[in-house]
Chains A and B, each alone.
Chain A
Amino acid sequence: MGLKSSNLQRSADPSRGDKATVLEENSSDAAPAGRKARSRVIVETTTPKPASAADDVETLYRERRSLLLYVASRKFRIPESDAENLVQEVFLSFLQTGTKIDNVRAWLVAAMCNASRHYWRARGRTESLPEDFGDHADTRSLGLADQFALNMTIRQAVQYLPERCQETLRLHYFEGHSAGEVARVLETTSRYAEKLIHNCLNRVREVYKKISAVSP
């Protein structure tokens, strides 16, 4: 088998039995439960016979696409049509690494950041770069994949909250308003606004926990 297969096969630690188990490890991507459920079915139905390299890469793509797309389009503000091309580039690169990858998700996320930086560098002369565009790998990135996955899940969790709660959290945490300022916008007392901020944060944490529990 070739480089790619060595990559994917090495991930398929014999002690774990099959590829499905491996693809599920470290996974907390915040894709909607429906899509995740679909992915799981695909994984489980392919378990009995050894998957080909093509099957492996397709499964991996389905598992990780949302997170990678999120990184490109949200972190690096790359248009989605171009971001999809970058996702493809990253997977093609992954297939050709020719070495054991310790942490597939972290590798893919870091490679996506790399591809995104390259994208903007190539356009650097004609377009203004995003403010947080970095020239090199993010050195605090041992948990970068986790951070993006968390942000993606929180984005999803917020959408489950009542509108008033969303507004409260946005005003306080994103726009940086104090409890008193939030109270003025919401036409309530500071004490109540403070309580609302705490309650809403607690609620988003609860929803986050539920989403994480159903994600593989």
Chain B
Amino acid sequence: MMVGERHYDEETLLSFLAQDDPNAEHLSNCAECREKLDSFRLIAEALADEATWDETPISDTPNPDTIATLRTFADRMATEDAQAELYLQDLLDGTRDAWMSNLRHHPEYRTPGVVRKLIETIPSALDTMPRDAVELTALATEIADHLDPATSTPDTVSRLRGAAWRERAYALFYTGDYAAAERALCASESHFIESSVNEYDLARVGVVRALVERGLEKTESAISAARTSADVFAAFGDLSRIASARLAEAHLLFTLGDFGAAAAILGSLELQLQSSEVVDTHARVLGTLGFCCWKLGRIEEALHYHEAAAILLDELGVRTESVRVRWNVACILASEGRMVEAQSRFESVHAEFRLLGMTSAATLVTLDMAELLLANRKFEAVEKICRDAMRSFEAAGIPYTVRALTALSYMKEAARERTATPSLAKHVREYLTRLPHEANLLFAPPPE
């Protein structure tokens, strides 16, 4: 019966309980009735659980011994960590070649706190100096492997060893030493397996394993590792890490050319992330989903996801990244032959990069524009682009300015002589993309 022609009464809702999918029109339109029915359903399920009828009392009094143990352990960690901060300054004195020697001369540095502090420093070292990061992990594993398990709680040392070896695996992967990374993964797993609460840590190892095995072309095994990890993270309610594992799986599917399966995974992940607070991860997933849709020829969706990613990145204040995503949008439009839209997007992105002082990126955008212009034989416009880009490089005075000017000058001359082609613009752009990372790279004209 409907109450006041608005909602079902409780008796009617309860009668729906026995039906898996009650065919009631109002129910599909009324969130309130649906919610109420769901709550009845959940309660009925709980009532079917044996534990609900188990009358053995569960102690409600916190155990003072447990509290004492936890407090002592937390205090001890805090003390070790504070001490480790001081040790670390001396341990990491000098270049990385000296660090292991510093450790050998100071056995007092061999503490759990130093291992934890070293692990903390690794992510930033990977960003700035990956070889340093590898050496930091060597220190962490060296210390962890020689800690005495008898001096701490049962699983502390095995957990530290597992964590140190996991970081080492990732640093080795990052620097391209996949075989050594795989050995480090095995070491990490063997240590974590010794501890009684290890599923979460092993899942974190699993994500690194997926990355490493991708490098070793063990794609099936890598996909399996990524999936298992994602399932465990789901159990632990860790959406950020579910996303990392699913992204790893999607990238593996890319290598198999299975963009459809990747799109399904990313689409489902994107839905989960919509109501989450992990905005940066959400933006990353949207961007990857956009790429995937582009590969599948779903252009409007690709553009939509990229735009959505750019908006989130703007919200986060990561303007440089949002402009890069919008650059992708322009490239997609260009690849689809939507030249007018692409040109306008490239111009807007170029202006943004200039405003942000990103000379190199701004120049690369103009070369994308040049490629479009040359397809339409607009040589004068390309000459002007080259002149402007050369002026920007001269003004910026960056270390590879001279080499960049050589390439741009070559293209300007080709445009002046009406011999420049879209592939030349592409060639120069690829050269300028490599220059910041390979400052001594010489420019060579493309083969005829």
Given A5-B81, A95-B73, check contact A89 B196 (CB 8 Å). Answer: yes
The reply to whether the CB of A193 lies closer than 8 angstroms to some CB of chain B is no
The chain B residue with its CB closest to the CB of A80 is B59
* Cβ B159 vs Cβ A96 within 8 A: yes
Q: Which of A5, A53, A90, A151 contacts B197 (CB 8 A)?
A: A90
Interface centre among A2, A53, A75, A103 (most CB of B within 10 A): A2
Whether the Cβ atoms of B155 and A93 lie closer than 8 Å is yes
The answer to whether A198 and B197 touch across the interface, beta carbons within 8 angstroms, is no
Residue of A nearest to B196 (CB): A118
Q: Are B58 and A111 in contact (CB under 8 A)?
A: no
> What's the nearest-Cβ distance from chain B to residue A18, in Å?
18
- Segment at the A interface, from B35-43, B176-184, B209-217, B339-347: B35-43
- Nearest-neighbour CB distance to chain B for A199, whole angstroms, equals 9
B36 and chain A: residue at smallest CB distance: A205
Q: Are the CB atoms of A69 and B155 closer together than 8 Å?
A: no
Whether A74 contacts B235 by the Cβ 8 Å rule is no
Find out whether the CB atom of A69 lies under 8 angstroms from the CB atom of B59. Answer: yes
Q: Does B63 interact with chain A (Cβ within 8 Å)?
A: yes
Q: B234: CB under 8 A from chain A?
A: yes
Sample of 29 A–B contacts (CB below 8 Å): A2-B80, A2-B84, A2-B117, A3-B77, A3-B81, A4-B74, A4-B78, A54-B75, A54-B78, A56-B74, A65-B63, A69-B59, A73-B58, A96-B156, A97-B201, A98-B120, A110-B232, A111-B200, A111-B236, A114-B200, A137-B234, A138-B235, A139-B231, A141-B235, A141-B236, A155-B52, A174-B49, A201-B43, A201-B44
Sorted nearest first, the 5 A-B pairs with minimum C-beta distance are: A106-B237, A2-B81, A103-B237, A74-B51, A173-B47
Identity of the chain B residue whose Cβ is nearest the Cβ of A65 in the assembled complex: B62
**Is B60 interfacial (CB-CB < 8 Å)?**
yes
A75: chain B residues within 8 A (beta carbon): 51
Q: Given known contacts A107-B200, A110-B200, A144-B235, is B78 in contact with A1 (CB within 8 Å)?
A: yes
Question: How far is the CB of A49 from the nearest CB of chain B, in Å?
Answer: 16
Cross-chain contact B238 with A173 (CB below 8 angstroms): no
Q: A residues within 8 A CB of B234?
A: 137, 139, 141-142
Residues in A whose Cβ lies below 8 Å from that of B47: 154, 158, 169-170, 173-174, 201, 204
Whether B71 is near chain A, meaning CB under 8 Å from some CB there, is yes
With A2-B81, A61-B70, A174-B47 given, can you name 4 additional A-B contacts, CB distance below 8 Å? A69-B58, A110-B232, A114-B200, A201-B47
Main secondary structure of the interface of A (DSSP, over half): helix
**A150 touching B70, Cβ below 8 Å:** no
Q: Is the CB of B116 within 8 A of A98?
A: yes
Q: Name the CB-closest residue of A to B52.
A: A155
Within 161-203 of A, Cβ neighbours of B (below 8 Å) are at 169-170, 173-174, 176, 197-198, 201-202
Check if B10 sits within 8 Å of A170, measured CB to CB.
no
Q: Which A residue sits closest to B69, measured CB to CB? A: A88
| A58 x B67 contact (CB < 8 A) | yes
Is the beta-carbon distance between B240 and A57 smaller than 8 angstroms?
A: no
Residue numbers in B under 8 Å from A158 (CB-CB): 47, 52-53
A119-170 interface (Cβ within 8 A of B): 119, 136-139, 141-142, 144-145, 150-151, 154-155, 158, 169-170
A38 to chain B, nearest CB (A): 10
CA distance A92 to B156 in the complex (A): 8
The count of chain B contact residues (Cβ–Cβ below 8 Å) is: 68
Q: How far is the CA of A57 from the CA of B72 in the complex (A)?
A: 10
Chain B residues in contact with chain A, CB under 8 A?
10-11, 14, 39-40, 42-44, 46-54, 56, 58-60, 62-63, 66-67, 69-75, 77-78, 80-82, 84, 113, 116-117, 119-120, 153, 155-156, 159-160, 163, 195-201, 204, 231-232, 234-241, 278
Indicate whether A21 reaches chain B with its CB closer than 8 angstroms.
no
Q: How far is the CA of A97 from the CA of B72 in the complex (A)?
A: 17
Residue of B nearest to A90 (CB): B197
Is the CB–CB distance between A173 and B119 below 8 Å? no
Interface size on A, as a range, is: 35 or more
Alpha-carbon gap, A58 to B64, bound state (A)? 10
Chain B residue contacts of A2, Cβ below 8 A = 77-78, 80-81, 84, 113, 116-117
B358 to chain A, nearest CB (A): 30
B71 neighbours in A (Cβ, 8 Å): 54, 57-58
CB distance from A164 to the nearest CB of B (A): 15
Q: Which A residues are CB-close (under 8 A) to B39?
A: 205
CA distance A176 to B60 in the complex (A): 31
How far, in whole Å, are A4 and B75 apart by their CA atoms in the complex?
10
Chain A neighbourhood of B51, CB < 8 A: 70, 74-75, 151, 155
Chain A residue nearest in CB terms to B236: A110
User: Bound state CA distance, A62 and B63, in angstroms?
Assistant: 9
Pair B74/A52 contact, Cβ less than 8 Å: yes
Chain B hits for A43, CB < 8 A? none
Q: Is A154 within 8 A of B236, CB to CB?
A: no
Chain B residues whose C-beta falls within 8 Å of the C-beta of A103 in the assembled complex? 236-239
Inter-chain contacts of A98 with B (CB < 8 A):
116, 119-120, 163
Task: Check if A53 sits within 8 Å of B60, measured CB to CB.
Answer: no
Chain A residues whose CB sits within 8 angstroms of the CB of B49 once the complex forms: 151, 174
- The reply to whether the CB of A20 lies closer than 8 angstroms to some CB of chain B is no
- Whether B200 lies near A151 (C-beta < 8 A) is no
Question: Measured between alpha carbons, how far is A93 from B160 in the docked complex, in Å?
Answer: 11
- Please, which residues of chain B bring their CB within 8 A of the CB of A154? 43, 46-47, 52
Contact A80 B58 (CB under 8 A): yes
